[in-house]
Chains A and B, each alone.
Chain A
Amino acid sequence: MKTKLLSSNKLVLAVVCIALLLILLDIFMAFFISPLVRGARLSEPVIIVGQMVANKLLFSQKIFYLHVPVALSSFIALLFTAVFSIRYLIKRDPLDDMRAYSCTEIALVFVLATMASGILWTRFEWGSWWVWEPRLTTYFILTLMVLAYFVLRLNIEDADREASFAAVFGILAFINVPISFFVTRIVPSSIHPVIFRTDSGLSSSMLIPFIAGMIGCLLLSFVLYKLRISLKKSDFELQQVKEEFESLYKKRLKEKRVVGDK
């Protein structure tokens, strides 16, 4: 038991180190190697909150190398929440519920990081901390749903019921993810930059840090997920041991009393 724990800990540590190194590489390359981008991302100059967004060399575009991998990781974490939720509803395996719960927790971390970095960029680029723009709005709604998922879980007492209700809500909430992802493409009034276009043609000095960041974020979320799951499993085992101990203790107490009566 002890050796197994140690080796898995070593593995976790190694993966964390790789993930952090990749993210550091991403940040380093983004600032020192990748070229500045001409601000041609809007089809025409647009006035946003009283400021003209014109074509210029965009230093703020550097956010792309971290903000986008983090946001995509949050989407992927929520995808896994939905997958495990569906699996739970079909198979009724408590482990699947535990997995869905952990995925949502990881999603919350990445959603909050996306929000924080995005808001800074919005302030710099659009001149306002918050704009009710389709992408921002749908992502904000996503944040509220992730928070609501936890509120729901805390408010249901019966464990089986909590699991199936949370699964149902997790699936419903996931429907918003594709909406949030594609909204910059389908709503013409969206001013959020559209990434993942076939015509964008990133140069390798831009693609490499982005991919490094993407892999780094995915590895990081995977490790966080693994840690969370192992914590929950040990918690579950601890509860079982506690219950066992308590029943044993009561039994012994009873026996003692019987002996004492004699």
Chain B
Amino acid sequence: MFTKFLALLKKDLLLEARSKTVLSSMLIYALLVLTIYGAALSQTADNFDILQVSSGLLWALIVFTSLIGLNKTFSHEGEAGALYALLLAPFEKSLVFLSKLCANFIFLVLLEVIVVPLFYFFFLQTSSLSVQSVLLILPLLLGNVGIAGVGTLLASITQRSKSGDILLAILLVPLIFPLLLACVSASAAVIIGSAELMEGFMRSCGIAFSYDAIMLAASYALYEFVLRP
């Protein structure tokens, strides 16, 4: 079963490695959002503390960019009835859902590997970051798991709709909002790094983790009702 899962995941990654459509469009979109941030922050005063808002800006960037990738989750499967073949193949449908989820998770991680340093390079070079900023990895990973989990389920719903792209945003953003709030507060804690905020860091990560657990369980229970031809 695990080899079948790996084969499915390999198929998705290989398709992406050859076409590079998802990652390239996500990356360009992220660059555009960063440019917009540049304009939005261009008129701020000298004593403006960018650290206060940087965690929120970073997560806004991640949520918007994830929508681009999630929308393309099933874009390859439309060709030549690939989705039908995938669902007829002799393995459990849960593997299709899990492999898509993992692929989306990997795309998000790859994107952040490029975008988070870019964010630092553009906006945070002059500010003094706290030492704990390395811990940012934890909320980023927790956020990616939740976005990929709920997003994959919703993407399989919206791919059959009349207005797929915008519908995914309408459904996804309210659903992941608790996760977003937890991730923003956890990230703010490590970026600003004051002692009182650090207390909230573990609690926010705990909330994000329990959100991930509940939503992944719910998505896993419900995927079979949406993954049908």
Contact = CB atoms under 8 A, between A and B. Distances in A.
Interface of A: 89, 137-138, 141, 144-145, 147-148, 151-152, 155-158, 161, 164-165, 167-169, 171-173, 175-176, 179
A152 B171 contact: yes
B47 to A, nearest CB: 22
Contacts of A173: 174-175
Interface in B156-187: 157, 160-163, 167, 170-171, 173-175, 177-178, 181
A168 B222 contact: yes
A164 B174 CA distance: 20
A152 B171 CA distance: 8
A172 B178 contact: no
A169 B161 contact: no
Given A165-B160, A169-B171, 7 more contacts: A89-B225, A141-B174, A141-B177, A141-B178, A145-B174, A175-B218, A179-B178
A151 B167 contact: yes
B174 A165 contact: no
A141 B180 CA distance: 12
Contacts of B175: 145, 172-173, 176
A156 B222 contact: no
Interface of B: 150, 153-154, 157, 160-163, 167, 170-171, 173-175, 177-178, 181, 214-215, 218-219, 222, 225-226
Contact of B214 (A148, A165, A175): A175
A89 B215 CA distance: 18
A158 B229 CA distance: 12
A165 B167 CA distance: 12
A164 B163 contact: no
A168 B174 contact: no
Contact of A148 (B153, B170, B219): B170
A171 B160 contact: no
- What does DSSP make chain A's interface, helix, strand, loop or mixed? helix
Given A152-B167, A169-B171, A172-B150, A138 B218 contact: no
17 contacts: A89-B222, A144-B174, A147-B170, A151-B167, A155-B161, A155-B163, A155-B167, A156-B162, A164-B225, A165-B226, A168-B222, A168-B225, A169-B154, A169-B157, A172-B218, A175-B215, A176-B174
Nearest to B171: A148
B169 to A, nearest CB: 10
B222 A172 contact: yes
Contacts of B215: 172, 175
A138 B180 CA distance: 12
Contacts of A164: 225-226
A23 to B, nearest CB: 30
Given A145-B174, A156-B161, A171 B222 contact: yes
Contacts of B163: 155
Nearest to A161: B160
A255 B163 CA distance: 44
B53 to A, nearest CB: 14
B196 to A, nearest CB: 12
Contacts of A169: 154, 157, 171
A158 B170 CA distance: 20
A176 B222 contact: no
Contacts of B226: 164-165, 168
